[in-house]
Structures are given as C-alpha cells and as structure tokens.
Amino acid sequence: MSGFWIRQYQEKLKSPDDAVRVVKSGDVIFMGEFAQNIEVLDAALARRKDELSDIVLETTTRTRPLKCVDIDPKREVFTWDDWHFSGVARKYSEAGLASYIPFTYHQGPGAVTRYNKVDVAFVQVTPMDDNGFFNFSTSCSLTPAYCQKARTVIVEVNSQSPRCLGGNSEGIHISEVDFVVEGPNNPLLELPAAAASEADKGIAAYVMELMEDGATIQLGIGGLPNVVGSLIAQSDLKDIGVHTEMLADSYVDMYEAGRVTGKRKNIDRGKMVYTFAMGSKKLYDFLDNNPICSSNPVNYTNDPDIICKNDKVIAINNALEVDLFTQVASESSGARQISGTGGQLDFIFGAFKSEGGKGLICISSTFKKKDGTVGSRIVPTLSPGTIVTCPRSITHYVVTEFGYAQMKGKSTWQRAEALINIAHPDFRDELIKQAQELNIWRRSNKIA
C-alpha cells in the first residue's frame, strides 16, 4: 500500500466523538443503507443530543434500531426519514418515530442530487485497499449520491464487510473522505431464511411455466423468491442471467447449481448485477472479491431503459392486494406504511419493455385476518387509504396459486374476469357480484 495513502488515513483517523463534532444543528445526515448499519457514529451522535436541535437522519431500509432515535422518543432533536421501511422502521413509524420518503427507486440518486439537503454522510465501508479505496460493500443504491452531495463524508470501517466489486461507483477514495472512524467490526445482519407457504409453492410452480432458457431474472426477498430460486436450481434451465435490485441467498444457490451464467445477456454479460445485498453469511462470503458480481447505484440497476436492454427479463415481485381494476398495492395496508415502492414499478415497467419480458405480480389468493377468518387478496377496490404501488396501466401479469393472467391489452371487464379466474374459488361468486356493482362485468362473462 502506498505510504501516501497510509499517511492520509492516519491524518483523517478520528475517534467517533471527535468525528461527529462536525454535525451542527439543522443538519441532514445520511446514516447508511440496508445491511451496512452505522454503529459507533450513531452512538457518538446520540451522546450529543443535548447540544443539538433539528437533526434529520436519512436511511434506506435501516435494519437495526438507531440509538439517536431511541434516546429521543419525542423527536425533540432527531427526526428519522427512511426511503424504504424494514420491520424496524415500520415498528418505529407506528410509534411516531419514523417517516417514509415516497419515491420511484431508480430516481432516488437524482432526487438526492437535485432536491435533498445533505450535510454529513456517515457510511459503513470495508477497510482501505492498497490503492486508497474504501468499498461500500453490500449497499450501493443511494450511497454514492449522498457522498457526492454531502458537505462532510465520514466512513466507519467494518472489517467484517465483504468487498463487493463493481459495476460502478462501488467505493470511495481516501482523498474524498473527510474523516475515518474504525468501528467494532461486528458481523453484518443476517436474514433468516423465510419459510415458503403452500401458496408460495403453488405460485412458484406457475412462475416456472413462464421461465425460459436465457431469461434474465429479478427476484425479491421472502418465501416465494426462495422457492422460485430453489426450483430454478433444481431445473434444467440454461444460461439464466441476473439483473436485480437485491441479491439474496437464492442467487448463490442458482449459480452454484450451474443455472446462472449470464451468457445470453446483451449488457453486463456474465455478470450478476445488483444494487444491494442482504442474506446470510453464505451470501456475504460469495460476494467478497467475486468478479461475477457487479454492484451498481440504483439509477443503473433499476432504470427501465437499462433493464430492458436484456431480453426475456422476468421480474418477480410480491403484493398485498390487487383490485378488480388491476391496481396493485404492495407497500401499505390502508394508510399503514409497511415497506415501500422499492423497485417493483421499475422492474414491471422495464420487463415489459424487454424483448420477450414478463413483469409478474405474485400474490397468494387469501390471507388470515386477526380474528382467524380468511380474506381475499383480490378485492373489488383497494382498502381506503391504501397506496397504489403499480398502477393498472403498468400491471402486466398477476400470478396466484390458482394460475396466472396477462393483463396488457385487456379491457376492464376482461381484466376483472381474468383476476376472478385466479382468485380463491371460495370468493369468486362474491367478486362477480361486486364486479357487477362496479359496472365492470358483462352479463355473458364466464368463469373457468
């Protein structure tokens, strides 16, 4: 390693308490993304609570509690805004301690650059390499934009973070960093494997009917993506490509089974392209210095005009409700924010633009209510206050455990008929009645 970079590192190395002295009242502070949870800088900033006022903390899917928020339950000093809720942020939101930032994911870096005030960026990184670069590790979606916009950049080094190769903008040079803080080197958060339900298994079987050799896939997180990944790994599909927002354990399984090669991709051939990764140690070990993986900012991975450059893009996303007009709700239940828009809209739009592409909204036909009764996820209209994640004009395919339906080019009554055909049989008669009341049902319609 160059002695010059080592000297810069030593000159910029500070204690957490000294580093956070740059924060002033009224500042907006970026606190990192996903599995890269800022720790010692968060604790040091919390210790300054009585000296500061009007501090805004911005994160993307923070997965561990923030000490700054925990010590300020009345939001007198610290306000927490999150671009996409995790279970942690959802819990804090319900207590009035976190707010959601609505956005379309691929536009996030542009929104930060053009409109957001950013004073200080706290970023968890890998140790500096021989060329003076820190790596953003598993989280590259908005981090580069925040670092470029911030008045002051402070990196918190975590030797447990895998070095994730790019791509582009996957790291930052010591010359662009104001202060370096060494963290406790705790392992990254690991996500437990989500169990697949019987409905997930049924949906996955239909998804596999839509899969083709040479397809480029995008999977999210949860039981359904896990079972789809498992089925692909066990299949005889050839030359699957990866262009996704989230890289998860299921991709490792597919790659190690020989299903993923990326040889038929038109861009980033042979690369597994992603913007953030979360999963188990198996995933993090796979990512470390692995040239097959390509980390990129989200304005690359999620741009529909980039997504569509590959043929046969198959985007697989979950939802909470779909109404008979084919509006898709994936982020809220009524006015209760559960997650966020994320990349669903980006990938459904991009998949349609792809030659031979398919954008899939996958949803179990029913759910269990708090009182133990069963409700339908296919509904006449969305619940009051529910946020539309994917408008009906963008909806492409809907898949349940009872089948799949393609919606493009269909009228309102044709869409309603197609949805009712894949709804749970116990709810179909009532859905027909409700479709008639909504004046989106032809008398001659037939249900399979």
Question: What's the CATH number where 314 sits?
Answer: 3.40.1080.20
Determine the pLDDT at residue 437: 95
Whether the pLDDT of residue 447 is over 70: the answer is no
Arithmetic mean of pLDDT, 99-117: 97
Whether the pLDDT of residue 441 is over 90: the answer is no
User: What phi and psi values does residue 154 have, to the nearest 5 degrees?
Assistant: -120, 125
Residues 129 and 217 in one domain: no
Arithmetic mean of pLDDT, 346-360: 98
Residues 271 and 141 in one domain: no
Residues 275 and 422 in one domain: yes
pLDDT tens for each residue of 273-313? 999 999 999 999 999 999 999 999 999 999 999 999 999 99
Q: Which residues, including other chains, have CB under 8 Å from residue 384's CB and lie 6 or more apart? A: 334
> Minimal CA–CA distance to 380: which of 344, 342, 326?
326
Q: From residue 383, how far is each of 317, 336, 379 by CA, in Å?
A: 20, 11, 8
The total of other beta-carbon atoms located within 10 Å of residue 294's CB is: 26
Determine the pLDDT at residue 448: 59
Residues 372 and 228 in one domain: yes
Determine the pLDDT at residue 3: 85
| Dist. CA 422–CA 365, nearest whole Å | 8
Question: In a 3-state reduction of DSSP, which class is residue 210?
Answer: helix
Give 440's pLDDT tier (boundaries 50, 70, 90): very high
Active site residues: 245
Whether the pLDDT of residue 442 is over 80: the answer is no
Question: In one letter, which amino acid is 378?
Answer: I
Q: Does a structural domain hold residue 151? A: yes
Q: Does a structural domain hold residue 193? A: no
Residues 76 and 167 in one domain: yes
Residues 251 and 217 in one domain: yes
Determine the pLDDT at residue 446: 62
Whether the pLDDT of residue 197 is over 70: the answer is yes
Whether the pLDDT of residue 195 is over 90: the answer is no
Q: Does a structural domain hold residue 187? A: no
Determine the pLDDT at residue 445: 63
Q: Which of 151, 182, 213 is the last residue of a domain?
A: 182
Whether the pLDDT of residue 443 is over 80: the answer is no
Residues 128 and 208 in one domain: no
Residues 107 and 164 in one domain: yes
Asked if residue 180 lies in contact with residue 11, where contact means CB atoms within 8 angstroms, the answer is: no
pLDDT tens for each residue of 219-262? 977 788 889 999 999 999 999 999 999 999 999 999 999 999 99
Give 193's pLDDT tier (boundaries 50, 70, 90): confident
Asked if residue 441 lies in contact with residue 428, where contact means CB atoms within 8 angstroms, the answer is: no
Q: Does a structural domain hold residue 320? A: yes
Q: Which of 131, 151, 182 is the last residue of a domain?
A: 182
Determine the pLDDT at residue 123: 98
Question: In a 3-state reduction of DSSP, which class is residue 10?
Answer: helix
Asked if residue 57 lies in contact with residue 26, where contact means CB atoms within 8 angstroms, the answer is: no
Residues 231 and 284 in one domain: yes
| Dist. CA 206–CA 208, nearest whole Å | 5
Q: Does a structural domain hold residue 191? A: no
Residues 40 and 78 in one domain: yes
| Dist. CA 141–CA 58, nearest whole Å | 14
The total of other beta-carbon atoms located within 10 Å of residue 439's CB is: 8
Task: Look up residue 388 and give its DSSP letter.
Answer: P
Determine the pLDDT at residue 327: 98
Question: Can you give the residue range of the structural domain that contains 10?
Answer: 3-182
The total of other beta-carbon atoms located within 10 Å of residue 221's CB is: 16
Arithmetic mean of pLDDT, 35-45: 98
| Dist. CA 349–CA 315, nearest whole Å | 9
Whether the pLDDT of residue 79 is over 80: the answer is yes
Residues 150 and 214 in one domain: no
Give 429's pLDDT tier (boundaries 50, 70, 90): very high
Q: Please tell me the total count of domains within the chain.
A: 2
pLDDT tens for each residue of 110-125? 999 999 999 999 999 9
Q: Kindly report the CATH number assigned to the domain that includes residue 96.
A: 3.40.1080.10
Asked if residue 420 lies in contact with residue 375, where contact means CB atoms within 8 angstroms, the answer is: no
Determine the pLDDT at residue 215: 98
Output the average pLDDT for the chain. Answer: 96
Q: Which of 157, 182, 207 is the last residue of a domain?
A: 182
Provide, rounded to the nearest whole percent, the portion of the chain with pLDDT above 70: 98
Arithmetic mean of pLDDT, 388-412: 98
Determine the pLDDT at residue 389: 97
Residues 83 and 151 in one domain: yes
Task: Look up residue 361 and give its DSSP letter.
Answer: E
Q: Does a structural domain hold residue 188? A: no
